[in-house]
């Protein structure tokens, strides 16, 4: 029942806190102004992620200490994630108000990730099929890989925060998937409770953030959710096989795919990787004629597909797992080409299908 209590408490507190945070954001001038890259057409208060953090923090401190005591365990790692998340919230809040430089934001993310590592959370090895354990050997390599993973996922979630309710909903689906795995596949009650509390805050915030949004989560929320998903994916899956390495990649498939395609798109178009554009997944869906709400729901559906595949993947044998990953990659590439995710001219899979069709039709004609 701790999971239910944690979810409800975090949800209720976030519901109460969000209107107050909205007023606070407007008062201090933390507002999002429309521009050529953004979909909204009016000033919107941001920093809404602060409400998620308030709901999450209250539930965390009320439930986690007695829960750990009842379980007879301690969890420095969970405390490290909470403290690192607090640093991330501070960085995001400052950015929402003052628009920090990319270097300052990156330094804040590194500091938050370093706290997590200091409290014992790191990727130390991967158990590869046919090869055995791949150990990273030197401790500094494990630390560097862990920090790279955390920063990468944190920013990937931030990149998809382009439509009302998008980043919150995708993060909520990923959090629910990690919770299910922690409850039923790779039992980890600490991760399960942490996810339940985080999920409550996300659902409570979506009441105000789904289209038409009354407040944006801003970097305060997007960075906080991305950071927690990155850290939880390590904490929940760090101690088993290749499956545990691939599962978080599948669960976080939507933000990771959007980030990878963005980097590939800019490389192919000979543009700097750091330069923003309007060709992210949500932009592409809007461009083909989907409405704001339909685009968000379509991406939710894709997120559910990835999350379901991850859970099925965890129960599959080796070759079944390879088939699942292969099918997902083909579906992802086909979708990318159909909506112009990488670009209108880069469509190798569709071109291959077209050529095969031409050859087949030619033989039939003969």
* pLDDT of amino acid 226: 95
* pLDDT of amino acid 349: 79
Q: Considering only CA atoms, which of 6, 7, 14 is closest in space to residue 207? A: 14
* Inter-CA distances, 235 with 18, 80, 127, 350, Å: 29, 11, 16, 39
| Average pLDDT of every residue of the chain | 86
* pLDDT of amino acid 213: 92
d(C-alpha 92, C-alpha 84), whole Å: 12
CB 52 within 8 A of CB 225: yes
* pLDDT of amino acid 129: 53
* pLDDT of amino acid 1: 80
Angle, helices 218-237 vs 189-209, to 10°: value is 160
Helix (H) or strand (E) holding 365: helix 348-365
The dihedral over CA atoms of 172, 174, 175, 177, expressed in degrees to the nearest 10, equals 120
- Three-state DSSP at 244 gives helix
Q: How confident is the model at residue 141 (pLDDT cuts 50, 70, 90)?
A: confident
Q: How confident is the model at residue 240 (pLDDT cuts 50, 70, 90)?
A: very low
User: What pTM was estimated for this model as a whole?
Assistant: 0.88
> Which segment, 99-108, 234-243, 333-342, is predicted with the most confidence on average?
99-108
Between strands 132-135 and 125-128, the pairing is: antiparallel
Ligand-binding site membership of 219 (annotated) = yes
Ligand-binding site membership of 2 (annotated) = no
Q: What percent of the chain has pLDDT over 70?
A: 86
What are the backbone dihedrals phi and psi of residue 119, each rounded to the nearest 5 degrees, phi first? -85, 10
Q: How confident is the model at residue 241 (pLDDT cuts 50, 70, 90)?
A: very low
Mean pLDDT calculated for residue range 76-103: 95
Question: For 269-280, how does the pLDDT look when each residue is reduced to its tens digit (9 = 90+)?
Answer: 777 776 777 778
Angle, helices 292-314 vs 242-251, to 10°: value is 170
CB 286 within 8 A of CB 292: yes
> Strand ranges (DSSP E) for the chain?
31-32, 44-45, 125-128, 132-135
* pLDDT of amino acid 318: 65
Judge residue 8's burial from the number of C-beta atoms within 10 Å of its C-beta, 0-12 exposed, 13-18 middle, 19 or more buried.
middle
- Three-state DSSP at 251 gives helix
pLDDT of 366 > 80? The answer is: no
* pLDDT of amino acid 54: 98
* Inter-CA distances, 11 with 17, 55, 141, 165, Å: 10, 7, 38, 16
pLDDT of 305 > 50? The answer is: yes
The dihedral over CA atoms of 261, 266, 270, 271, expressed in degrees to the nearest 10, equals -170
Question: For 39-71, how does the pLDDT look when each residue is reduced to its tens digit (9 = 90+)?
Answer: 556 788 999 999 999 999 999 999 998 988 887
* pLDDT of amino acid 331: 84
d(C-alpha 343, C-alpha 6), whole Å: 44
* pLDDT of amino acid 37: 57
Peptide bond into 237 cis (omega under 30): no
d(C-alpha 249, C-alpha 313), whole Å: 12
Between strands 31-32 and 132-135, the pairing is: unpaired
Q: How confident is the model at residue 159 (pLDDT cuts 50, 70, 90)?
A: confident
> Which segment, 75-79, 317-321, 323-327, 337-341, is predicted with the most confidence on average?
75-79
d(C-alpha 141, C-alpha 124), whole Å: 8
């Amino acid at each position: 029942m701790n999971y239910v209590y944690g979810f409800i408490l975090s949800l209720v507190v976030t519901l109460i806190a969000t209107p107050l945070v909205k007023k606070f954001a407007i008062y201090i001038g933390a507002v999002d102004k429309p521009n050529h890259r953004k979909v909204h057409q009016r000033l919107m208060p941001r920093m809404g992620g602060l409400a998620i953090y308030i709901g999450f923090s209250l539930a965390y401190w009320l439930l986690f200490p007695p829960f750990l005591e009842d379980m007879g365990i301690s969890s420095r790692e969970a405390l490290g994630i909470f403290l690192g998340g607090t640093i991330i919230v501070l960085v995001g809040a400052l950015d929402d108000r003052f628009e920090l430089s990319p270097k300052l934001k990156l330094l804040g993310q590194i500091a938050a990730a370093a706290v997590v590592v200091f409290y014992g959370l790191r990727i130390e090895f991967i158990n590869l099929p046919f090869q055995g354990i791949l150990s990273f050997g030197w401790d500094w390599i494990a630390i560097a890989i862990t920090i790279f993973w955390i920063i990468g996922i944190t920013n990937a979630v931030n990149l998809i925060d382009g439509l009302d309710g998008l980043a919150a909903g995708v993060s909520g689906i990923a959090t629910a998937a990690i919770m299910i795995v922690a409850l039923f596949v790779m039992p980890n009650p600490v991760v399960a409770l942490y996810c339940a509390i985080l999920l409550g805050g996300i659902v409570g915030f979506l009441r105000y953030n789904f289209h038409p949004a009354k407040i944006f989560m801003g970097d305060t929320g997007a960075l906080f959710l991305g950071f927690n998903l990155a850290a939880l994916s390590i904490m929940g899956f760090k101690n088993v096989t290749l499956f545990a390495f691939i599962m978080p990649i599948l669960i976080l498939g939507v933000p990771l795919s959007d980030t990878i395609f963005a980097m590939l798109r800019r490389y192919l178009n000979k543009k700097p990787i750091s330069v923003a554009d309007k060709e992210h997944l949500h932009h592409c869906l809007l461009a083909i004629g989907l409405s704001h709400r339909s685009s968000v729901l379509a991406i939710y559906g894709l997120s559910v597909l990835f999350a379901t595949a991850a859970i099925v993947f965890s129960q599959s044998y080796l070759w079944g797992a390879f088939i699942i990953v292969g099918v997902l990659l083909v579906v992802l590439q086909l979708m990318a080409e159909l909506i112009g995710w990488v670009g209108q001219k880069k469509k190798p899979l569709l071109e291959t299908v077209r050529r095969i069709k031409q050859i087949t039709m030619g033989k039939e004609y003969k």
